[in-house]
Structure 1
Amino acid sequence: MRFNVFKNTVLFSVLVMISCRSNSTEKDGRLPIHNQDAIKVSAPTPLPNKHNKKIIVGSNQTEHYLPLLKEKKIGIVANQTSVIFKNDGHYTHLVDSLLALQVNVTKVFAPEHGFRGTADAGEVIKDGIDTKTGLPLISLYGTNKKPSKEQLNDIDLLIFDIQDVGARFYTYISSLHYVMEACAENNIPVLILDRPNPNGHYIDGPVLESAHKSFVGMHPIPVVHGMTIGEYAQMINGEKWLTNGKPCAITVIPVKNYNRNVEYDLPIKPSPNLPNAKAINLYPSICLFEGTNINAGRGTNTQFQIYGSPFLNPNIYPFKFTPQSNEGAKHPKHENKVCYGEDLTTSKTLNALHLNWLIEAYKNTENKTEFFNSFFTKLAGTKKLQEQIEKGLTDIQIKATWQKDLDTFKKMRSPYLIYK
């Protein structure tokens, strides 16, 4: 089976190319009944279905990709979201499922937060052995962000199956870049099992400037890009963002019954500090506080749904909380100190980047010279946003300066879109 770089109207040709059915799967993409008992089922989680059409993620469409894995040595980039859903509301991990189907999985590559998704943001992930499967685990976070030739030498095909949340500074798309780059250099095809983008319904934020490229922002895209992992991979290829512009041979298994207007609540939290749909929706806006002296809810049970600082006026911000060490935030900002701020757990669903919380927090911080830190520019992708806030520009005035770049980005991304 030949792997193609997909663009424009041929995006869907993958379904035609690999439309052959495998005898080891049923027509709806579920694992065959005789294999069900071989796979351990985890806690029940319903598959989202708010529009009377079942969303079928790429991993569930085993009939389309199992033939590609036959007699090959397989590597998998995965975390706790890399699962196959069942009709009874349960799910199994992709790695466990493929092993049960006698697929030759040789190793697993783990992005930020690790294979099981429990590590802090920014915590160094170490190589090791998965205790459940005995497979080697290779970290793609820390000093080894890009798989080496040696790490790929026993792999014929690499699967990438990670749930993203559609924000530029969420590092899974940076891991995607490095995986594609390494595979392109070593002539290894990549199979992408696509998943919905819970923030795919809008595009907003400043476009990253090349001078501020980092692991939390590698490409000239806005903070909220509105693309799935599969679409984004095609943009990486098409815009020649890989070293020397050499494309990676990719195959995308698209999500069935998905479009950008479908509301999709993630059944598994994508990282320790994004526990629910509210946090995921607020994340692109609230994460900018990570580049300030404001705590964005880390060290609480409402991460990215509240914000506050000991330096905000309690008369203006009566809501208070005390960050404490917990899963995903062993040493949160302002640990064990009372922070004053705002509770956003009942706020309306955002359809745009919200700047007023950031602007007002800056205005109401007494020592403004200590409000921003150097990480803010990396998150924003530009120095201009901090300068605009410091000059007292309103959110409307600031967003007006983004519009030209956003229009350009929308045109650039158009050929790579799979979904309406």
Structure 2
Amino acid sequence: MIRLFLSLLIFSCFACSEAQELKLGAEKMDKYLPLLEGKRVALVVNQTSTIGKTHLVDTLVSRGVNVVKVMAPEHGFRGEAPDGETIDNTKDAKTGLPIISIYGKTKKPSAEMLADVDILLFDIQDVGVRFYTFISTMHYVMEAAAENGKKVLVLDRPNPNGMYVDGPVKDDDINSFVAMHPIPVVHGLTVGELANMINREGWLEGGVKADLTVIPMKGWDHSQTYSLPISPSPNLPTDNSIILYPSLALFEGTVVSVGRGTDHPFEVIGHPNYTLGSYSFTPQPNAGSKYPPMEGKECFGQSFVGTEASYEFTLKYLLQYHHELKDDTTFFRDYIDLLAGTKEFRKQVESGLSEEQIRATWQPKLDAYKAMRKEYLLYEDF
């Protein structure tokens, strides 16, 4: 009897382990290949769009899928272009497929681009932060598809910051490519979950609805951490930088360097006039940043390299640096309003409010968002 119990226990644990093995949306080909049969397909992908070590483009072409073009987001098809750099149209050397840029002058696919397309497939690794531009690209892809009668297929991937929700929700009077949706800084959704939210909440221009299908993952939930096998962009090269990104990216709207032009972007912060830090670095042009802020100037501050970053959105670093630098320089740039998603944030910091006081002002909208978010979850929540 004891042997039988142990055997059942071992089998149960094995089955549980098997059930929890992560299977990405892209890996569930039995679910989406039938949807591509006989269709002219455009792929919205980048270097993260892989199945194992093989790029999705190569996999689908080898399976006989009629891929007619690739559409590339910020950083390009291979993910090598610096932040903000315009991406040019080109051809994929391996397959000969045309690569159409949808970052730069044209961020939304045009009717002409979609004339020879039946379905747009989106498969890009996101990091779960409102101002990270891949979700804005997804929005425009869905919008263009809805306006031109095309289908959209989203292959879901984990959110490495998907185990919490925090930060101010974007106000209606703040709108840009880094501030498109009324969601908090850390939105706690996968791209598939967010695509459903965008569609059903009527956030596409004119309230149009995309003909959308999301292929969910298997074996993932919002309580899990996830180490990205491929860097999503040149300036988020490590797990630590991705975890720190929600908080440290606010410094992009200030005079403080976040380490662009160094080996540790979004793992160091500093400024030439900051006197409290024991760490220093000097930004120089590199592959990830041709013109880094504070180029050639020694910046003093702190390093998080080698530390175990916490999954949290915090204002403590920004408030600390503002306190020390506000009398020496104009601390904020206009970009801070887009990152924070509200014009009130800058005023709150400049008036000397504490983090607790600032948080209290955004809590009602954050609570409302959290309630709405639950309606769109495809996976067990944290």
Instruction: State the TM-score, normalizing by the size of structure 2.
Output: 0.93
Question: Are 1:83 and 2:45 matched, yes or no?
Answer: no
Q: Which amino acid aligns with 1:62?
A: M
The corresponding residue for 1:111 is 73
Distance 2:266 2:204 in 1: 32
Q: Which amino acid aligns with 2:43?
A: I
**Uncovered stretches (5+) of structure 2, i.e. residues with no partner:** 1-16
The answer to whether the 8 Å contact 2:107/2:137 transfers is: yes
Question: Are 1:135 and 2:135 matched, yes or no?
Answer: no
- Pick one of 13, 23, 36 that aligns with 1:69: 36
The corresponding residue for 1:181 is 143
Distance 2:376 2:256 in 1: 37
SS in 2 for 1:342: strand
SS in 1 for 2:247: helix
Question: Are 1:256 and 2:223 matched, yes or no?
Answer: no
The corresponding residue for 1:223 is 185
Question: Are 1:360 and 2:320 matched, yes or no?
Answer: yes
Distance 1:154 1:193 in 2: 22
Question: Are 1:338 and 2:290 matched, yes or no?
Answer: no
Distance 2:177 2:207 in 1: 19
The corresponding residue for 1:303 is 265
The answer to whether the 8 Å contact 2:119/2:153 transfers is: yes
User: Structure 1 residues 203 and 255, CA, compared in 2 at 3 Å: closer, same or farther?
Assistant: same
Please give the per-residue CA displacement for 1:276-329, whole angstroms capped at 9, x wherever unaligned: 11000000000000011111011111110111111212xx11210011111111
Please give the per-residue CA displacement for 1:58-93, whole angstroms capped at 9, x wherever unaligned: 1111111111111111100000000002xxxxx100
- Pick one of 359, 371, 374 that aligns with 1:411: 371
Question: Are 1:276 and 2:238 matched, yes or no?
Answer: yes
Distance 1:77 1:396 in 2: 41
- Pick one of 374, 391, 394 that aligns with 2:334: 374
User: What's the CA shift for 1:352?
Assistant: 2.3
Distance 1:133 1:292 in 2: 43
User: What's the CA shift for 1:350?
Assistant: 2.4
Counting aligned pairs with the same residue, the percent is 51
Distance 1:318 1:262 in 2: 34
The answer to whether the 8 Å contact 2:43/2:121 transfers is: yes
- Pick one of 30, 37, 58 that aligns with 1:96: 58
Distance 2:49 2:236 in 1: 16
Q: Which amino acid aligns with 2:133?
A: T
The answer to whether the 8 Å contact 1:51/1:262 transfers is: no
**Uncovered stretches (5+) of structure 1, i.e. residues with no partner:** 1-49, 86-90
User: Structure 1 residues 344 and 156, CA, compared in 2 at 3 Å: closer, same or farther?
Assistant: same
User: What's the CA shift for 1:349?
Assistant: 3.1
The corresponding residue for 2:13 is none
Q: Which amino acid aligns with 2:29?
A: T
The answer to whether the 8 Å contact 1:312/1:366 transfers is: no
User: What's the CA shift for 1:233?
Assistant: 0.4
Please give the per-residue CA displacement for 1:205-224, whole angstroms capped at 9, x wherever unaligned: 11111211100010111100
User: What's the CA shift for 1:369?
Assistant: 5.0
- Pick one of 297, 319, 325 that aligns with 2:285: 325
User: What's the CA shift for 1:366?
Assistant: 5.2
Question: Are 1:172 and 2:134 matched, yes or no?
Answer: yes
SS in 2 for 1:168: coil
Distance 2:328 2:108 in 1: 38
Instruction: State the TM-score, normalizing by the size of structure 1.
Output: 0.85
1:133-172 equivalences under 5 Å are: 133-172=95-134
User: What's the CA shift for 1:393?
Assistant: 1.3
Across the two proteins, how many residue pairs are aligned to each other? 364
The corresponding residue for 2:356 is 396
User: Structure 1 residues 244 and 347, CA, compared in 2 at 3 Å: closer, same or farther?
Assistant: same
Please give the per-residue CA displacement for 1:167-211, whole angstroms capped at 9, x wherever unaligned: 000001111110000000111111110000000011111111121
Question: Are 1:59 and 2:26 matched, yes or no?
Answer: yes
Distance 2:233 2:296 in 1: 23
- Pick one of 209, 213, 217 that aligns with 1:247: 209
The answer to whether the 8 Å contact 2:19/2:219 transfers is: no
Please give the per-residue CA displacement for 1:224-266, whole angstroms capped at 9, x wherever unaligned: 0000000000000111011221110111110110001111100
Task: Let me know the Cα RMSD of the aligned residues.
Answer: 1.4
User: What's the CA shift for 1:395?
Assistant: 1.2
User: What's the CA shift for 1:100?
Assistant: 1.2
Please give the per-residue CA displacement for 1:340-397, whole angstroms capped at 9, x wherever unaligned: 0111124443232111100000111154551100111111111111111111111122
Question: Are 1:203 and 2:165 matched, yes or no?
Answer: yes
Distance 2:29 2:200 in 1: 27
The corresponding residue for 2:274 is 312
